[in-house]
Amino acid sequence: MFAPQPIGFVKSPYTETSAIPKGLNAKHDAEGVLEILPEFAAGLKDVEGFSHLFVLWVFDRSEGFDLVGAPPVDNRPHGVFSTRSPRRPNPIGLTVVELLRRERNSLLVRGVDMLEGTPILDIKPYMSSIPAEKLRRGWLAEAESAFVDPSRGLHSE
């Protein structure tokens, strides 16, 4: 077992979880900053070459966990490992952000869905070799098909 330590903290416009967009068609376009601690700043070398980054972080304000629960986008119960619930056995979050620019040990990003002050565990360049036609979205695909896009003049369920 290892004892994770933060490499930095998130500067976010969100101070309450209720303000973070959730559900089908949620837009994650809020800008924020990944403030990397000075002792880890050398690890940012060459990060500017990537358009998107994986950010691993801690649900530091979540308590306990549920192995099965109904997510906000579906009224049927699903296992925690098939959802993005913050109530997990290991409260680790994963977000893909767009890197806008680097300023010394700060990464200005778009797509934050974390709270102000959230501890960052790791950052990795976003890479995927999986073609879109091979990806499966599990139960979420069914939930999305039941949702009608309001931007096309229809209503959502």
CB distance 44 to 102 below 8 Å:
yes
Phi, psi of 108 (to 5 degrees): -85, 125
- Count H helices and E strands in the chain, helices first: 1, 8
**Location of structure tokens 């974390």:** 114
For residue 147, tell me if it sits in a domain.
yes
Helix (H) or strand (E) run with residue 91 in it:
none
> Helices marked H in the chain — which ranges?
138-146
For residue 1, tell me if it sits in a domain.
no
Give the pLDDT score at 36. Answer: 98
Residue 94 CA to residue 34 CA, distance in Å, equals 14
Give the pLDDT score at 148. Answer: 53
pLDDT band at 125 (very low <50, low <70, confident <90, very high): very high
Q: Residue 88 maps to which CATH number? A: 2.40.30.70
pLDDT, tens digit (0-9, with 9 covering 90-100), for 39-67: 999 999 999 999 999 999 999 999 999 99
For residue 16, tell me if it sits in a domain.
yes
Gap between the terminal Cα atoms of the chain: 44
Residue 32 CA to residue 101 CA, distance in Å, equals 11
For residues 86-103, average pLDDT: 95
**DSSP secondary structure code for residue 114 in this structure:** S
Give the pLDDT score at 79. Answer: 94
Number of domains in the chain: 1
Which is nearest to 8 in space by CA: 105, 115, 108?
105
For residue 101, tell me if it sits in a domain.
yes
Tell me which residue range forms the domain holding 38: 8-152
Count of alpha carbons within 13 Å of 60, Cβ hemisphere only? 17
